[in-house]
Structure 1
């Protein structure tokens, strides 16, 4: 994916739509926790329910979002489905994000719009 830096200057946000959708899919703390867990290998929804302490319906809903975005895939085995990351490039994106957070001293946590003290989405450490 190439982001055209001139897209906003030209008044056409369509070039950025896919990137906005990608980052929005990762902006929820639960979905990000799921992706981080999937970085360690495949997992069932039941495992995530236990590990994250969330309701099965909540985990399934977030997993469906990630699947619909093409980020995860399911492998049926009997009556179970084992989920894994569908795009290994996502690991590079997460590593880059961690490097950026380290380089900024986690300043984004202090951001008045999206930081941990704002009314914005939760941030996981």
Structure 2
């Protein structure tokens, strides 16, 4: 049986993947994504849930929306945000499982 040979990533692809993960590296952005996994929320609800300012939440939502983590829709005077792709849930579930196995090492890491 022939082995499938994977081609190495190009530098551009690697940079895009790194930026994708960087999108979740900010604690406020990550918290917003986690909250939105439970369903649509408006900015006021996200402000209340995160404890961040309205400006911080709006800025982080703009980043998350631009990079494709979340999408929005207008409902009356409110803009409701939601996760744009259910695979984001899977990514976070996998990350939590890996972190659970390596939490102390990650916590103590001085290289990141």
Fold match by TM threshold 0.5: yes
> Aligned-pair distance for 1:87?
1.1
Determine which structure has the larger helix proportion and give its number. Answer: 2
In the aligned structure 1, how far is the partner of 2:7 from the partner of 2:32?
31
CA offset at residue 51 of structure 1? 1.5
1:14 CA displacement: 1.3
* 1:104 Cα deviation after fit: 1.8
Q: How does 1:14-93 map to 2 (within 5 A)?
A: 14-93=12-91
Superposed CA RMSD? 1.5
Moved over 6 A (4+): none
Q: What residue ranges of structure 2 are gaps of 5+ in the alignment?
A: 1-5
Aligned length, in residue pairs? 107
- Higher mean alpha-carbon deviation, 44-53 vs 29-38, is at 44-53
TM-score normalized by the length of structure 1: 0.79
Could you tell me whether the CA contact under 8 Å between 2:71 and 2:81 is conserved in 1? yes
Scaled by the length of structure 2, what TM-score is found? 0.88
Q: Does structure 1 residue 6 correspond to structure 2 residue 4?
A: no
